Amino acid sequence: MARKSIAVSPTEAGGPWLTGQVLIAMPALVGSTFARSVIYMCAHTADGAMGIVLNQPLANPSFADLLGTLGVAPLPPARSIRLHSGGPVDNGRGFVLHTDDWTGEGSLQVDGRLALTATLDILKAIAEGGGPSQGMLALGYAGWGPGQLDREMQENAWLTAPLDAGDLALVFDADHGSKWQRALRQLGVDPVLLSGTAGRA
């Protein structure tokens, strides 16, 4: 975690982009870092995109161990949140994706329900028993340069889906092994029938 805010400013979120949507890896990504990934998109603009992988939990370090490394008290914490591999970019840095019932200085409001915070303040709040009602701590993130994600979409690497308005289970529940299938079924897609070949009209 760092005391400065993440690079994408709140004014860049939103618009006719994929911000607030879920990216679902297609079979074309088998063998890649993103195979069967489900990614929540925190920002998508003309300057690039960034998101947090939702279905790659980390067994180590524990939340308490991480707080100890960062010098955040109290230890043991009054409550904990799960740690995830958020993606291959900057994986020495922490990002908390959380419900927006708590925000701090530097928090990025994503879609009116979720926010992203990359400062130690949120870890202190959670360790003390407060903070947002739901959250996950991601080490690293998924990032794309200008136009890169758009090209990958055209190459049939990803499907997109809105996040169910009344259900944040896809983001926060612990059933990580089923998130890819569940995200596809939300679109009415049977994973068995997916093709890794891009279609052409």
Instruction: Let me know if residue 201 belongs to a domain.
Output: no
| DSSP calls for 132-198 | -SSEEEEEEEEEE-TTHHHHHHHTT-EEEEEPPTT--HHHH-S-GGGHHHHHHHHTT--GGG--SSP
pTM given for the model: 0.88
Q: How many residues does the chain have?
A: 201
- Please calculate the CA angle 9-19-40 and round it to the nearest 5 degrees: 105
Cα(157)–Cα(197) distance, integer angstroms: 9
Instruction: Let me know if residue 26 belongs to a domain.
Output: yes
The neighbouring-strand residues paired with 158 are 25
Cα(137)–Cα(139) distance, integer angstroms: 7
**CB-neighbour burial class of residue 197 (10 A; exposed 0-12, middle 13-18, buried 19+):** exposed
Instruction: Let me know if residue 87 belongs to a domain.
Output: yes
| Whole-Å CA distances, 197 to 94, 154, 157, 185 | 35, 11, 9, 20
Give 102-123 pLDDT, tens digit per residue: 999 889 999 889 999 999 999 9
What residues make up the domain containing 177?
Answer: 10-193
Instruction: Let me know if residue 58 belongs to a domain.
Output: yes
Instruction: Let me know if residue 200 belongs to a domain.
Output: no
Q: For the domain that residue 128 is a member of, what is the CATH number? A: 3.40.1740.10
**CB-neighbour burial class of residue 164 (10 A; exposed 0-12, middle 13-18, buried 19+):** middle
* Cα distance between the two ends of the chain: 46
Instruction: Let me know if residue 148 belongs to a domain.
Output: yes
Q: How many domains does the chain have?
A: 1
pLDDT per residue, tens digit, the chain (201 aa), is 543 333 333 334 444 489 999 999 998 888 889 999 999 999 999 999 999 999 999 999 999 999 999 999 999 999 999 999 999 999 999 999 999 999 998 899 998 899 999 999 999 999 999 999 999 999 999 999 999 999 999 999 999 999 876 679 999 999 999 999 999 988 888 887 775 444 433
Instruction: Let me know if residue 118 belongs to a domain.
Output: yes
Instruction: Let me know if residue 158 belongs to a domain.
Output: yes
- Cis-peptide, bond into residue 191, ω within 30° of zero: no
